[in-house]
């Protein structure tokens, strides 16, 4: 007998509207959505301003910072003798977010968006992993609507964002962010959220929240 699904992770290409889909999916299931909440939670645990934490969201520290950090460790030097757990950088935030992901999965009934959740929970029973993508034209149109003043740079910006996400996963989890073997289902968001949610419910064996059904 298969373990009932209690956690869904949603990884997404930039511009695919995967985050919006995750919101609608969580609402349909009556589950908790954890997206930017993961970053805010990491900031709260670390005792830093959420705006500071947001600057590290799904991106690595600059190469010169990483080089300097390795040098300090190897040489026995440190800046004001600050312990690693007291330094807030992308590595620290990713570690905190991973623990939040594991805690949320333990509690169950949640939809986790990005931040390596599929990698953190790989092989865990009761977890269903989704990757959302879209056609180049759909992503380009989304970008033009969201950032009209940068519309002419849509392709470059979209690709750069996804490269940053992929680099984070490669560095922290030693996995390829868009590797099909990480996910149970790949969904093209051009099919529409209703069709996507129906596909996920059918594949995962989940039903809508009764309260949501009553309002439809």
Residue 94, Ramachandran bin (φ over 0: left; ψ between -120 and 50: alpha; else beta): alpha
Number of domains in the chain: 1
109 within some domain: yes
CATH of the domain at 61: 3.40.50.300
pLDDT tens string 18-31: 999 999 999 999 99
177 within some domain: yes
Q: Are 171 and 156 in contact (CB under 8 A)?
A: no
- pTM here is 0.83
Q: Are 44 and 188 in contact (CB under 8 A)?
A: no
215 within some domain: no
Domain residue limits at 178 = 7-210
2 within some domain: no
Residues 124-131 have a mean pLDDT of 96
Q: Kindly tell me the sign of the dihedral angle through the C-alpha atoms of 85, 88, 93, 94.
A: negative
135 within some domain: yes
pLDDT tens string 67-106: 444 444 444 544 444 444 456 677 888 888 999 999 999 9
In 3D, which of 10, 22, 8 has the Cα closest to residue 193? 22
35 within some domain: yes
Q: Check residue 82 and give its pLDDT.
A: 42
92 within some domain: yes
Could you give the CA distance from residue 93 to residue 43 in angstroms, rounded to a whole number? 8
């Amino acid at each position: 007998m298969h373990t009932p699904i209690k956690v869904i992770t949603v990884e997404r290409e930039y511009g695919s509207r995967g985050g919006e889909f995750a919101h609608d999916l969580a609402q349909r299931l009556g589950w908790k959505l954890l997206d930017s909440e993961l970053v805010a939670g990491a900031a709260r645990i670390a005792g830093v301003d959420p705006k500071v934490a947001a600057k590290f969201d799904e991106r690595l520290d600059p190469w010169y910072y990483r080089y300097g950090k390795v040098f300090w460790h190897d040489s026995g030097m440190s800046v004001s003798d600050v312990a690693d757990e007291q330094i807030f950088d992308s590595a620290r935030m990713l570690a905190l977010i991973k623990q939040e992901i594991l805690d949320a999965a333990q509690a169950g009934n949640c939809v986790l968006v990005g931040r390596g959740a599929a990698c953190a929970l790989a092989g865990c029973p009761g977890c269903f992993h989704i990757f959302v993508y879209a056609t180049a034209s759909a992503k380009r149109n989304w970008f033009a609507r969201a950032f009209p003043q940068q519309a002419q740079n849509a392709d470059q910006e979209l690709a750069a964002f996804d490269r940053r996400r992929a680099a984070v996963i490669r560095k922290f989890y030693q996995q390829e962010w868009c590797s099909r073997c990480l996910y149970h289902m790949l969904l093209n968001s051009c099919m529409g959220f209703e069709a996507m949610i129906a596909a996920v419910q059918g594949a995962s064996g989940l039903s809508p929240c009764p309260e949501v059904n009553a309002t439809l």
